[in-house]
Chain A
């Protein structure tokens, strides 16, 4: 286990299409976060899972966004009907209780 992994690393899609990203956390980490980073900005929190429960969602997470963590291990983030404003780097992070967050390499999304 070499850390948090994310797939795909890059995604180019056309406006209106749906996309799904996957995050595999470090194996013993039961806490998982999604962030979004746009150009020139720091990461912004999107949502948080503890095991399979989604416990917090940011106002940034519009109705077109949905995240799941069905078995408390990997997580998916789906964006429906993508818009150009969704173009960003999507980061996943995980941690276990009492520790800091470890980040994945991110998925860079470009919506044309």
Chain B
């Protein structure tokens, strides 16, 4: 079955500390993976996708097919990074998204 697992419900760090939000997936074939972010009182929005191999707001994520992981990393967390982060993969011919349960990142001053 296709599944996305985010093992941490909450990740709490201090400003300037490194951040790693974990994401593991189960998928047969070549997955297309995403990180979405939801800031307080805002809608869900795309943060980055693995095929772009880009860095957005200092965040990067590398697809590791051997470990079936797509962890989100940032070397120095900022208070404005506090939000809910969802890992997701595309499933099926109609590109529906399968989401993990999400991790709340809290960055303290």
Contact = CB atoms under 8 A, between A and B. Distances in A.
A95 B88 CA distance: 16
Nearest to B36: A103
Give the size category of B's interface with A: 20 to 34
Nearest to B100: A42
A62 interface: no
A74 interface: no
B101 A103 contact: no
Interface residues of A, number: 24
Contacts, number: 50
Interface in A69-112: 91, 95, 100-106
B92 A40 contact: no
A30 to B, nearest CB: 12
B97 A104 contact: no
Interface secondary structure of A, over-half rule = strand
Given A40-B101, A42-B88, A100-B49, 8 more contacts: A33-B97, A42-B6, A42-B99, A43-B97, A44-B99, A45-B91, A100-B34, A101-B46
Interface of A: 3-4, 31, 33, 35, 40-45, 48, 50, 55-56, 91, 95, 100-106
